C-alpha cells in the first residue's frame, strides 16, 4: 500500500472547527511581519491574497477584503474592484507558475453553502487539471496534494513578486 503524506490536514481534522469570536483568519494586522506564517501572498489596497491552509488542489488561493464583513452587497466599489483585480492577478500568477488547465472561482456564502468561515467574505480560486478528480475523494474522503504548503507558497510568491515588487 502506498502512503499519502499531508500533515497539515491533521490540524484541520482534529482541531477546533470554530474560532473564538475575536479571532478571524482573514483579519490581518496592518504590518506584513507575519504574512509568510499566515500564508498571505499579496496585499492589495482593499483586499489581499492568501493561500488556503486546507486546499482542494495545489495552489488553492483565496481573496478577502481587509474589512471584516460577510455581505458581498456591503462591499464598497473600491473593495469589490480590488477583489476582482486580485482574482485576475491570481489567475495570471497561477497560470504562469503551475499551468493549470482551468479554474473554479466562487464564494460560499453561509455555512449551509459550504463556508468554513462564515463571518468574513472570501473568494476561492481553485486551479484544476484534467484528471485531478479521482477515486481518492470519492472512496476515502482524501485529496492528494502533491506539494507541501510552504513549497507552494515560495513558488507562488515568486510569481507575485515579479508582478508587484
- List, for residues 135-145, the tens digit of each pLDDT value: 444 444 545 55
Specify whether 120 is catalytic: no
From the candidates 42, 46, 60, 122, give the one annotated as an active-site residue. 122
Q: Which domains does the chain have, with CATH numbers?
A: 34-160 (3.30.428.10)
Name the average pLDDT for the chain. 82
Return the exposure string of 10-44: e unless at least 16 CB atoms fall within 10 Å of the residue's CB, then b.
eeeeeeeeeeeeeeebbebeeeeeebeebbbbbbb
Quote the pLDDT of residue 106. Answer: 94
Comparing 25-34, 41-50, 58-67, the range with the smallest average pLDDT is 25-34
Residue 2 has pLDDT above 50, yes or no: no
The three grid cell numbers given for residue 58, joined into one nine-digit string = 495545489
Task: Quote the pLDDT of residue 136.
Answer: 44
User: Using one digit for the tens of pLDDT, what is the confidence trace for 67-83?
Assistant: 999 999 999 999 999 99
Amino acid at each position: 500500500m502506498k502512503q499519502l503524506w499531508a500533515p497539515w490536514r491533521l490540524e484541520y481534522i482534529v482541531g477546533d472547527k470554530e474560532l473564538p469570536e475575536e479571532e478571524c483568519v482573514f483579519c490581518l494586522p496592518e504590518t506584513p511581519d507575519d504574512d509568510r506564517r499566515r500564508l498571505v501572498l499579496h496585499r492589495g489596497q482593499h483586499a489581499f491574497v492568501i493561500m488556503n491552509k486546507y486546499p482542494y488542489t495545489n495552489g488553492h488561493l483565496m481573496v478577502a477584503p481587509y474589512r471584516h464583513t460577510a455581505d458581498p452587497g456591503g462591499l464598497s466599489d473600491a473593495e469589490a474592484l480590488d477583489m476582482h483585480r486580485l482574482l485576475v492577478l491570481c489567475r495570471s500568477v497561477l497560470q504562469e507558475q503551475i499551468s493549470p488547465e482551468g479554474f473554479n472561482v466562487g464564494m460560499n456564502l453561509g455555512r449551509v453553502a459550504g463556508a468554513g468561515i462564515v463571518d468574513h467574505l472570501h473568494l476561492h480560486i481553485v486551479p484544476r487539471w484534467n484528471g485531478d478528480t479521482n477515486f481518492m475523494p470519492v472512496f476515502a474522503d482524501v485529496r492528494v496534494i502533491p506539494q507541501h504548503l510552504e513549497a507552494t507558497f515560495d513558488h507562488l510568491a515568486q510569481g507575485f513578486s515579479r508582478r508587484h515588487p
